[in-house]
Structure 1
Amino acid sequence: MATEQELADLLRSVEKRAFKRTLYHVRDENAALDIVQDSMMKLAEHYGDKPAAQLPLLFQRILSNSTLDWFRRQKSRKALFSNLSDFESADDEGGSFDLLESLVANGTGESVESAEDSTRRAEILHQIETQIQALPARQREAFLMRYWEEMDVAETAAAMGCSEGSVKTHCSRAVQALAKALRSKGITP
């Protein structure tokens, strides 16, 4: 059974990545925040009595299901109301976040990059984020779990509710699509 401290530590450690991952899917900061908070509440309420080692995977599964539920609710709302623009999320409504926060500091706290390098790096990260958002939903989900959340294939398959082969296929297609899109913009490794 997980202690309150273990649960709190887990939630603290996943909150930023979970928010960004959800934001990639729903493209609405407020909705992403709500989904992550609801997922955290569900984990604490329904699974707090599980062993601490099981909590990370359970959280990923809850987060995926909560995101799918959000899309289902959005689809229902759009079907019920004639004015769709009230219910569509807008990419430009503060939907961006600090791209540079994802850069790893060099350990000294001092910047060793020139302003030009820093600007170029920010542009590359922006292009990567844009291309990730353009991926089909299942490819994006598999890619983010594997490479953002650093989950292994089996954990990703369990969280997504699909086979390990499907995860590998989704990831492979996502990587190929991202590489092709970035090469077309002149960005190479």
Structure 2
Amino acid sequence: MFQTEAILIDTSLKEKAWSQLFSGLEKRAFRFACLELGDSGQAGDMVQEAAIKLMQKYSDRPTEEWVALFYAILRNHIRDHQRRQRLERLLGFWRTENDDAEEDLSALPDLFPSPDDQLSGQQLGTQIESALRQLPNRQREAFLFREWQELSVEETAMAMGCSSGSVKVHHYRALRRLRTLLADWAPGGYDDEA
């Protein structure tokens, strides 16, 4: 009886820890998935699937590892989905009319008060999204995990399944490329020496 109670308490604590963690992680993970997929409906599904898989398969792991594991699972789900889409296109299984009703990142709430600022912000957002899509996958992942998800180098390495050194290289190269691609949006340009 005592052992059963201990298991129930441990399970309850893990559920609370996951609930707290996921409430702060969900929006950032959704944005990450939106940028990777370009479809907010699909992105929401991927985030939910990754959360479920984490709790089903890895709830026994230390809670400190959950963020990196969650992003690794999410990243793998996204890659699998993209692979299936490419295969369907190659095999000629074209999308149905219902699949064309995609939502994009412009559906996210606007943060700019004036119409001019709003237009400028939308243009910048489009440019950033375009620049991110031009990066190789590993560089884009390293950048998004480090800058937007605020993961540490070690957490990013775990999520990407590579070494910390590799994360640093991919992140550095992504920053350099983004500086070049977005130079027109910087007030005085970017100083490569800085």
Shorter-chain TM range is 0.7 to 0.9
Does the aligned pair in 1 maintain the 2:69–2:158 contact within 8 Å?
no
Amino acid at match of 1:72: R
Within the candidate set 165, 185, 188, 2:186 is matched to: 188
Match of 1:107 in 2: none
Deviation by residue 1:36-71 (Cα, 9 ceiling, x = unmatched): 111011012122233322211211111112122222
Structure 1 letter corresponding to 2:153: V
- Percent identity between matched residues is 38
Match of 1:142 in 2: 142
Distance of 1:99 and 1:165 partners within structure 2:
34
Cα distance between partner residues in 2 of 1:4 and 1:66: 23
2:4 is aligned to: none
What is the deviation of 1:98?
4.6
Q: Show structure 1 runs of 4+ deviating over 6 A.
A: none
Instruction: Determine the C-alpha separation between the residues in 1 that align with 2:125 and 2:40.
Output: 19
Q: RMSD of aligned C-alpha atoms?
A: 2.6
| 2:105 counterpart SS class | coil
- Conserved 8 A contact 1:57-1:159: yes
In our comparison, the structure showing a higher alpha carbon Rg is: 2
Secondary structure of 2:185's partner? Answer: coil
Whole-angstrom CA distance in 1 between matches of 2:134 and 2:169: 17
In structure 2, list runs of 5 or more residues that go unmatched: 1-9, 188-194
Query: How far apart are residue 147 of structure 1 and its match?
Result: 0.3
TM-score, normalising length: structure 2: 0.76
The one-letter amino acid of 1:94's match is: E
Contact kept, 8 Å, 1:99 with 1:122, in 2: the verdict is no
- Conservation of the 8 A alpha-carbon contact between 1:35 and 1:66: yes
TM-score by length of structure 1 reads 0.78
- The answer to which structure has the higher helix fraction is 2
Matches within 5 A, 1:64-79: 64-79=75-90
Residue range with higher mean Cα deviation, 44-53 or 167-176: 44-53
Q: Report if the CA contact (8 A) 2:41-2:103 is conserved.
A: no
**Contact between 2:139 and 2:170, CA under 8 Å: does it hold in 1?**
yes
